[in-house]
Structure 1
Amino acid sequence: MAKRIALVAAIAFIPLASTQSSYANSSLSWQSLPGSLYTPPTTPWAYAPDASWPPTTIGTPLEPQAPDDELLQMLSEIDPNRIKHIVSTLANFGTRHTLSTQNSSTSGIGAARDWILKEMTAQASPDMTVELNSYIQGVAERISFPVNISNIVASIPGTDDPNRVYVVTGHYDSRRLDVMDYTNPSPGADDDATGVAVVMEMARVVALHGKPKASMIFAATAGEEQASYGATHLAKTLKKEGRNVEGNWNNDIVGTGRNEPFAAINDYTVRLFGASIFYPNASTSEEQTEAGLIGAWNDSPAQNLGRYIAEIAAGAAEAVGMQVALIYRPDRFLRGGDHLSFLEEGWPAVRFTEAVEDFRHQHQDPRVQNGTQYGDLIQYVDFDYTARVARTNLASMWSAASAPAMPRNVSISEAIGFPAADRDTPLEVLSNESQFCWNTGEDPLAAGYELVYRASGNLQWTHVVSVGDVGSVTVDLPKDDVQFGVRAVGKDGKKSPAVLPAVAGSC
C-alpha cells in the first residue's frame, strides 16, 4: 500500500521566513545585484510567483543542500593562479588544431596533449589513473587525412559504486576562422583552454582529498572543433565498458563574465544548457509522444541534472561565488559541443558557457582590423571567473558522486486520480491525488527518498516531500497542474538528481 501524504491545499504559499538557506542572509554584494537568482531573501529559492499556481502547503519549500566541511575545504583549494598557468601554457602552443603537428614539444596539438598528460599525471594520487584514450580517425567531416585523436583521461574509482560514473570535460583543440587551417596561430585561450583548466584543477583537488562513493572522470578531449570526435570516442568507450554514466559536465568557453553587454551580475553567472527530452533522438517515438502528452519536455535527464547543479550551487553560493542560469535547450542557438556525444548515448549531459560570448574573440584569426582586436587571446580571460566556474562544477559533481544513485523505474500511476472507468470504480480512486512508485533495495547508499515538484511554468523544483525509505507514495497533489520528480537521499543527507516518473498503469 502506498504511503499517503494528503494535506489540504492552502490559499497561498507560505513565505520561507524561518528556513532560509544561509546564502539568503549573506553579506556578499553580488547576490543582491540586479539579475540575481537569489533575491528577494524572504522568498523561497527558485519560486517564481507569476509561474507558480496552484497554491499548496504540501511538503516544504525546497531549501538547497548545504555543503559539508570536506566540500568547503575542496572548494577553497581551487586556485586562480593555477588556472592562469594552464590557460597561458595552452595558449602559447601557437595552434592546437586537431590536424596540427603531433611531433613537436613546443607547438601543435601533440605538444598540448603531452603537456596535459604530464601535468595530470604529476598531480594524480595513488588512487587516480591518468591515461590516453586514443584512436586513429580516418578521412571524414573536417578531417582531410587520417589523424590520431587523443583524450587525456584521469579517473578515480568510487569506493561504493564504482560502475556509476560522473564525467567532466573540456576540449583542448582550437581553431581559426577557416576550420581547416591547421598551421597558423590559434591560441584558443577562452575556447577552450578555460574548460581544460576547469577539468585539470578539479582533478588536482579531488586527487588531494578523496574517495568519492561513485567514480569520477576528468577528461581533456580533442577534435571538438572538427566534430566532437574525441568526446564521441570517449562516450562510446564508456558505453562499451558498460559504465553507468549519470552525468556529463561539459565546460566550453568559461573564461569571463565581462563581455558586452555587461551587467555586474554577469561576473557571477554561468549559463548551463540542458536539452529537452525531444533532443537528441535518444528515446523512442512513443516515449517522446508520452512526454508531449504529460508536459515533460522540460523534464529530461539533462534538465534535471541542470536543476541539480543549480541547486547545489545555490546551497554553496558563498563558497562557489556563482549562480547558474538554466537555459532549456541543448546548446546555444543551432550550435553544439562535446556534451552532445554523451546525450547521444542516452546519458544526462549539460554544457557550461560564460554569461555572454564575445564573437570578436571566438574562432577568430588574431589580428587588428579597423582598430578592433580580434582573436581568442589570453588577455580576455578572467582567471577568477574561471575559478568560480570550476568551484561550481566541483561542488555539484562531487555532491553527486557522494550521494546515492538516481532512483530506478520511477513511475506515476494511472490507477489513481482519474475519472471513473465504470460504475464500480472505487471512490478513493476518484480524486486528484497522485501515486508514485520506484525500485528500492538496489542501492545500499540510499537511506530514503524525496518527492520534488514545481508548477509547470517554473524552471526549478520549488517544493519537497520527504517520504522515507519506501518505494511508493500517494500525495494530494494534482498531476494535471504540477511536474514531479523523485530523488534518493543518503544517510548523510546528500541527494541525487531527480528522475521524471514514467506513466504506468498501476504501482
Structure 2
Amino acid sequence: MRSLLAIGTTLALCVPALSHASPPAEVDMLYEVAVAPSPERIRSDIQTLVDFGTRHTLSETESDTRGIGAARRWISAEFEKISAECGGCLEVIYVSDTISGESRIPEPTEVVSVLAIQRGTTDPNRYVMMSGDIDSRVTDPLNGTSDSPGANDNASGMAGAIEAARVLSKHKFAGSIIYAGLSGEEQGLFGGKIVADYALAQGWEIKGVLNNDMISNISGIDGVTDNTTARVFSEGTRFVETAAEARSRRFTGGEVDSPSRNLARYVKAQADQYMTNLNVMMVYRLDRFGRGGHHRPFNQVGIPGVRIMETHEHYDRQHQDLRTEDGVIYGDTMDGVDAVYAAKLTALNAITLAGMAGAPPFPASVEIEGAVQPSAKMTWETPGNAGNLAGYRVHWRLTTEPEWTRSRFIGKVNEWSFDNLVIDNYFFGVSAVAKDGSETPVVFPGAAGRF
C-alpha cells in the first residue's frame, strides 16, 4: 500500500493548476546544423593559419604573409566574405588595446582581436559567443620570430569559429551570436580580458562563452586515440560571488550550479539530443589542473564561460620548438590535425550557439523557498523581448546527480510548486522554451545560478 501511495504521489507531481501545456517539438534544424561543418574547409583554414609561419602576439604585424598581423587581417577578410554571402548579416570589428610591462609582453604591444557579430532579430542585446585563439607560440614564450605553426593550438579553434559562422549565418535567431578570434592568449589571456571589458562597456548581455582551445587532436601522449569524446571545463562557483552571496550559498546550495556549470550541462544535453558518436565529458574544474584558457577572463567579470577541447592532449605538440630529439618529433604541425574530429567539435559549438540564440530571454530573478515545508516553490520573472516564448520548463534532480534528470514543461507561468518534493533533497531550476523548441540552459535559483 505504501508503494502504491508513493507511486501516486510521484505521478501527481507538478500537476498544473492551469490548462494542460504541451511542449514545442524538438528543433529539427539543429539536426542539420550538427552535420553541416565541413572537415575539408576546416583543414584548409587551419593550413592557411599555419602558413603564416608564426602568429605569436609579439610577431610581425606589417607583412601580408607572415605574423599575427597578416593572420588577423585574413580572419577579418574571411568573416567579411561570409557576411557578403548572407547579405551583410555579420558586423566585423577589431577590438584592441595596448599592453606593456608584463612578463610576456614587456614592450608596448597592440593586442588585437577580431569579432564577427550576427545580430538577433528580436533580442539583439543578448549574446552567445564562440571563440578561438589567433596566436601561437614555441618553447620560449617571448620568441616571436621562430616558426610556430600552432596547428592544433590553436588554429583548430579559430578555424572552428570561422566554420561555425559559415554554417549559422544561413539562419536567423532571436538573440545575437559572436564569432571571435582572440589574441594574446599565450601571453596572459589578454585578448579575452580586453574583449570582456569591451563587452561590459557596450552593455552586451553575454549569456555564454564557448572557448575552443585545441579541438583537432585525437591521439594523446597517454597512448589513447579517441575521436568520440570532448571535454567541457567549467567553474563550480561564480568568481564574482560576494561574501554575502557565499554565506547564503553555504546554507542553500549551488556549489556545482554556477551559470558556467549549467552552460556545460547544456552543451552536453545538446550533444546527447542532436549528435551521434560524440560523448561530452563534463570536467568539474575551471580548466586543466594548474592551467588556464580564454574563458577565464570572462568568468572573472561575471560572464558565464566554458572551455571545449579534445580529451587526450599530446604535450610534445604544445608550446614546442620544431625539432627531433632521440627520435621524438616535437612541434604543433598539421600532422597532429584530425579535421573530421575538429568538424565534430565545431558542430557541438554550432548546435549550442543556435540553441541559445534561438531561445527566448532567460528566466530572470529566479528564487526558491520551501524550508520546513512538504513542497518547494520556485518563482521567476519574464524579461522583455520574449515574443518567441512558448513557456517554461522546470527541472529537478537529486543533489548527488551531475546532470538534470527530470523536467516538465509547464507553459507560460511564473511560479511552480513541486508538490511533495522536500527542498532539502533536490536541486531545482527553470529554463525558457521558444515556440520552435529552442531552449535556454537551466537557471539555478538565487545569486549562485544567475546568468
TM-score, reference length from structure 2:
0.91
Query: What is the aligned partner in structure 2 of residue 68 from structure 1?
Result: 27
Distance 1:65 1:83, change over 3 A: farther
Structure 2 residue matching 1:488: 3-state secondary structure: strand
Tell me, in whole angstroms, the C-alpha distance in 1 between the residues paired with 2:247 and 2:59. Answer: 45
Matches of residues 101-250 of structure 1 in structure 2 within 5 Å? 101-124=60-83, 125=86, 126-207=88-169, 209-250=170-211
CA distance in 2 between counterparts of 1:202 and 1:477 reads 42
Greater mean deviation of Cα atoms: 73-82 or 437-446 = 437-446
The 5-angstrom pairing of residues 103-502 of structure 1 reads 103-124=62-83, 125=86, 126-207=88-169, 209-262=170-223, 266-278=226-238, 280=239, 282-318=240-276, 321-413=277-369, 416-418=370-372, 431-440=373-382, 442=384, 443-475=386-418, 476-502=420-446
Aligned CA distance change for structure 1 residues 56 and 286 (closer, same or farther; 3 Å)? farther
Query: Is 2:51 the counterpart of 1:92?
Result: yes
Q: 1:67 to 1:395 in 2, by over 3 A?
A: farther
AA aligned to 1:385 is Y
Q: Which digits, 9 at most, give the CA deviation of each residue in 1:363-389, with x for residues without a partner?
A: 111111111011111101100000000
Deviation at 1:257, TM superposition (A): 2.2
Structure 1: give runs of 5+ residues left out of the alignment. 1-6, 13-54, 419-430
Counterparts of 1:138 and 1:56, CA distance in 2: 63
Contact 2:375 2:422 in 1 (8 A): yes
Q: Secondary structure at the match of 1:296?
A: coil
Judged with a 3 Å threshold, the aligned counterparts in structure 2 of structure 1 residues 366 and 8 are, in CA distance, closer, same or farther, namely farther
Deviation readout 1:451-494 (Å, 9 max, x if unpaired): 11111111110000222211111112121111111111122222
Q: Aligned equivalents of 1:79 and 1:192: distance in 2?
A: 18
Between stretches 152-161 and 64-73, larger displacement belongs to 64-73
- Measure, in 2, the Cα distance between the counterparts of 1:132 and 1:395: 26
Letter in 1 for 2:184: G
Q: What CA deviation, in whole Å up to 9, does each residue of 1:428-468 have, x standing for no partner?
A: xxx33101111136333322111111111111100002222
- Paired with 1:143 and 1:387, the residues of 2 have a C-alpha distance of 33
Contact 1:213 1:401 in 2 (8 A): yes
Aligned residue identity for 1:220: G
Question: Is the aligned partner of 1:79 residue 2:38?
Answer: yes
Q: CA deviation at 1:68?
A: 3.0
- The alpha-carbon deviation at position 323 of structure 1 amounts to 1.8
CA distance in 1: counterparts of 2:265 and 2:14, whole angstroms: 19
Contact 2:224-2:312 within 8 A present in 1 as well:
no
Alpha-carbon distance between aligned partners in 2 of 1:254 and 1:362, rounded to the nearest angstrom: 13
The whole-number CA distance in structure 1 between the counterparts of 2:38 and 2:25 is 22
**Counterpart Cα distance in 1 of 2:6 and 2:391:** 25
Counterpart Cα distance in 2 of 1:393 and 1:92 = 26
Assess if the C-alpha contact under 8 Å between 1:170 and 1:196 holds in 2.
yes
Preserved CA contact (<8 Å) 1:450 1:465: yes
- In the comparison of the two structures, how many residue pairs are matched? 433
Give 3-state SS (helix, strand or coil) of 1:386's partner.
helix
Q: 1:89 to 1:452 in 2, by over 3 A?
A: same
Match of 1:232, SS state, is helix
Q: Is the 8 A contact 2:24 2:390 kept in 1?
A: no
Structure 1 contact 151–222 (Cα < 8 Å) conserved: yes
- Preserved CA contact (<8 Å) 1:66 1:315: no
Shift of 1:294: 2.6
C-alpha distance in 1 between matches for 2:26 and 2:333: 35
Conserved? CA contact 2:390–2:433, under 8 Å: yes
The letter of the residue matching 1:230 is G
How far residue 58 of structure 1 moved from its aligned partner, in angstroms, is 4.2
Matched with 1:21 is: none
Q: Conserved in 1, the CA contact under 8 Å of 2:361 and 2:383?
A: no
1:451–1:466 CA contact under 8 A, matched in 2: yes
Instruction: After superposition, give the CA deviation of every residue in 1:378-402 in whole Å (9 maximum; x if it has no partner).
Output: 1011000000000000011101100
Percent identity (aligned) = 35
Change (3 A) 1:66 1:257: farther
- Structure 2 residue runs without a partner (length 5+): 16-22
Q: Distance in 2 between matches of 1:205 and 1:493?
A: 20
Contact 2:31 2:275 in 1 (8 A): no
Distance 1:379 1:66 in 2: 43
Query: What amino acid sits opposite 1:216 in the alignment?
Result: I
Q: Give 1:499's aligned amino acid.
A: V
The alpha carbon displacement at 1:70 in A equals: 2.6
Verify the 8 A CA contact 2:234 2:261 in the aligned structure 1: yes
In the aligned structure 2, how far is the partner of 1:338 from the partner of 1:381? 21
Secondary structure at the residue paired with 2:187? helix
| Cα distance change of structure 1 residues 503 and 210 upon mapping to structure 2, 3 Å threshold | closer
* The 10-residue stretch of structure 1 (441-450 or 268-277) with the greater mean CA deviation from structure 2: 441-450
Name the CA distance, whole Å, in 1 between partners of 2:305 and 2:216.
20
TM-score by length of 1: 0.81
Counterpart of 2:157 in structure 1: which amino acid?
G
Which amino acid is 1:480 matched to? D
- The answer as to whether partners of 1:275 and 1:330 remain within 8 angstroms in 2 is yes
Number of the residue aligned with 2:20 = none
